[in-house]
Structure 1
Amino acid sequence: MDSTVSVIDKIQENDFLHQCLRALKENKLSLPTIPDISVKIRRAINDPKANNTRIARVVQMDPVITARLIQIANCPLYRGRRRIESCPEALTRLGLKAAQHLITTFALKAVFKARTRAIQKRMNDLWHHSSYVAAICAVLAHKTPGFDPDRAMLAGLIHDIGIVPVLTFADNHMDLLVDPAELDHAIDKLRGPVGAAIMRHWRFPEDFETIALKAEDWFR
């Protein structure tokens, strides 16, 4: 968090942004967490002693994730000669690396939640934008040698993840928002450093931290 604070110290403040900065510096800005089931699945996949059957038992603790994996294993991109009907088969066809990225993707949707209608609309818009970017990333990676489409899709989904805590802060402190433009200004200033902090908090690879930090830098 220290490197994030050093970046935001240089940001010119307004009233709402000032409160966001204070919350971040005092570790009171709520960073989103990935659902426990996703963490358990990722831990099982990264266990060198685990096999597909053991990993499948963990995955099947969440019927929705299981159904989504089977559905994707049967899509044209992965489909083989016969239809997949079980979780172990889906893991075999997809590969554990791809399955891990997909499972994280499914879990991310739960992060984009708010209490108030106005902020939930912004969350929905952000999710749709992130999904659109993720789809473009996956297609480009699929057509470009040396790139992993599933990893590219996940990168697209998290590129604006730093906006979520700012929206959550606004959701919990609507009284501080005199002008909606203040929220937009705070998002513009904090999305990068907060996104990088989330990637560290989630223990994602360092390049994902860079993606969240530099996503809006078109000249990088």
Structure 2
Amino acid sequence: MANASATQPDLDLSGQLVERLRTTEVRVPPYPAVASSLDRLNRDGKATVAEVASIVATDAALAATVLRHATSAAMRSNAPLTLEAAIYRLGLDELTRVVIAATIGVSAGAPGPLAALRRDQWRRSLLGAMFCRELAARRGVPPDQAFLAGLLHDFGAIVVVACIESMGTAALPVLPEATWRRTVEDLHVEFGMVVVARWQLPEPIAEVVASHHTPHTCMRVHRPLVQLVAVVDDIIAILDDSSRGGLAGLVDVPGLEHDERFRIGALMPKVAEQMARFETPAERDVASKIAPGTQTLEGGWPVDFPIVSRNQVEHRACALASSTLAFHSRTPLQQGWLAELTLRCAPDTITMLANVKSCQPMPGGGHLVIAQPFGLAGDDRAAWLRLVERTRRANGEP
């Protein structure tokens, strides 16, 4: 249901989208052909590496992605890999996961007036897939099924955004991000069920798409899978809210067991690497229809220390608040994505994942980036709290 306080443009937009749904004018990207072929080979159980390689090689960009994943899986070995060697290293199950995520992610990462919103949703989907797979076995759910459920349960949101964009940039109003999100949230399950029908997804995934907000309403046989996805959604919501204590805040997730919190914590060092594999080059979104946020850090104070990203590019911190960081960057960072940052804030050095909330060009060149810590824990969280307290006092803040 639409929020009672929704603006008139918001209500009109929702009405137009519902009408498009009813007239079947919903643009759903085709299910990846390579993934379908690999799935058939996987069921057959007799495929050779050469046969698999010949299928993957039909998509040059996908083949490059597979090589990149296999190189990373090989402990960052610099040894050159053939496509067949990469496939052998990954195995067919892992290869299929890579192919599905990479090919579906193309539509999620495309440019457009709401691209930042689409990327952020895809980030959540990738995190959902990773976390679901990590917790699946303990809950009696097949890990591959859990991965696919986590990846696709909110894909309807990406289709909603694509439908909005298909109306044409000129026809779209500039609205706050929260308004766009409300519209997408209102319709993402309906559009998700269109994806289910068009792609002919199996019943367990259909149940997840339909019922992940209300697990008690799903078929009992699929309830463990649906409940797993619902729990993971809560995990991501808490980790996205840097004011809730990072990993320590997961104690508030209903249905998440003590040892499962530790499993998520143990997985976090791998998240940066996993997300980097699917990252696309940052591009400035032309004619964005998301109202720009402020270029000041509300409730923050000035700081000055170097920050180094995963690819060894150096940035400069300029402001800090209790749960947010602002810094200047010579190059744009992908808004709506996770970045691995190392804060060199003597006497501490903090390595953390950061959720890039905005990246805006500055009049004199470069970009102002606003980011929030994602999943801080242990020594790094303690160091972050020391940094906040130390710099707050140095600036005379209460």
**The TM-score by the shorter chain falls in which range?**
0.7 to 0.9
Where does residue 125 of structure 2 map in the other structure? 130
Output the aligned Cα RMSD.
Answer: 3.3
Where does residue 102 of structure 2 map in the other structure? 106
Percent identity over the alignment is: 24
- For residues 131 and 70 of structure 2, the distance between their equivalents in structure 1, rounded to whole angstroms, comes to 20
- For residues 44 and 197 of structure 2, the distance between their equivalents in structure 1, rounded to whole angstroms, comes to 21
8 Å CA contact 1:38, 1:104 repeated in 2? yes
Q: TM-score, normalising length from structure 1?
A: 0.72
**Alignment partner for residue 168 of structure 1, among 159, 162, 165?**
162
1:141 aligns with 2:136: yes
Corresponding residue SS for 1:14: helix
The farther-off stretch of 164-173 and 119-128 is 164-173
Tell me which of the two structures has the higher relative contact order, counting C-alpha pairs closer than 8 angstroms and 6 or more residues apart: 1
**Alignment partner for residue 214 of structure 1, among 186, 211, 218?**
211
Equivalent residue letter for 2:201: F
**Alignment partner for residue 17 of structure 1, among 1, 14, 18?**
14
Q: Which has the larger radius of gyration?
A: 2
8 Å CA contact 2:34, 2:99 repeated in 1? no
1:157 aligns with 2:154: no
Cα deviation code 1:62-110 (max 9, x no counterpart): 344345445545666x98xxx9944445545544344323311111111
**Post-superposition offset of 1:18:** 1.2
Distance 1:94-1:151 versus aligned 2 partners, 3 A rule? farther
Distance 1:68-1:187 versus aligned 2 partners, 3 A rule? same
- Structure 1 unaligned segments of length 5 or more: list them: 1-12
Q: TM-score, normalising length from structure 2?
A: 0.43
Cα deviation code 1:134-190 (max 9, x no counterpart): 222122236x27444343223212121001121112213352547556543432222
Where does residue 121 of structure 1 map in the other structure? 116
Cα deviation code 1:10-51 (max 9, x no counterpart): xxx931111111111111121122444444444554556643
1:62 aligns with 2:59: yes
Where does residue 233 of structure 2 map in the other structure? none
Where is the strand percentage greater, Structure 1 or Structure 2? 2
Where does residue 7 of structure 1 map in the other structure? none
1:204 aligns with 2:186: no
- Structure 2 unaligned segments of length 5 or more: list them: 1-9, 218-398
Where does residue 188 of structure 1 map in the other structure? 185
